[in-house]
Amino acid sequence: MIFDDTYDPTIGSAITVRKGNDVSIIATGVMVARTLDAAHVLQELGLDAEVIEMHTVKPLDEEAIKESASRTGSVVTVEEHSVIGGLCSSVAEILCEELPTPLIRVGVADRLR
């Protein structure tokens, strides 16, 4: 369990669930737990990952994104649906316009039928 009964998310405010200095991992939904697991594996490999739970994509907590990205220098977004038009797209817009930062997206790839 990531959160206890006191969990009270505020719309538009991200929650940093793990502090780190080497990479910012921004996740949403059920992927937050998986991202924490990945952060522990990365720790064993010598990488200190920050994990941010972004429970609302609109409004987006732009300050949390910029603060974390400016400190770590790289961002990974993790979402349980299409990477197009979701969390990654929103984070990319912020970084592109205000703080150019390497970004990798993890999610469901778009597919033509």
Query: Per-residue pLDDT tens for 16-39?
Result: 999 999 999 999 989 999 999 999
> What is the CATH number that goes with domain 15-108?
3.40.50.920
Place of tokens 């780190």: 20
Consecutive H or E run containing 63: helix 62-72
Alpha-carbon span 57 to 86, nearest angstrom? 7
Residue ranges per domain, the chain? Answer: 15-108
Alpha-carbon span 100 to 107, nearest angstrom? 21
Nearest one of 87, 43, 41, 36 to 65, comparing CA atoms: 87
- Strands 15-18 and 49-53: what pairing? antiparallel
Say what the pLDDT of residue 42 is.
Answer: 97
pTM: 0.91
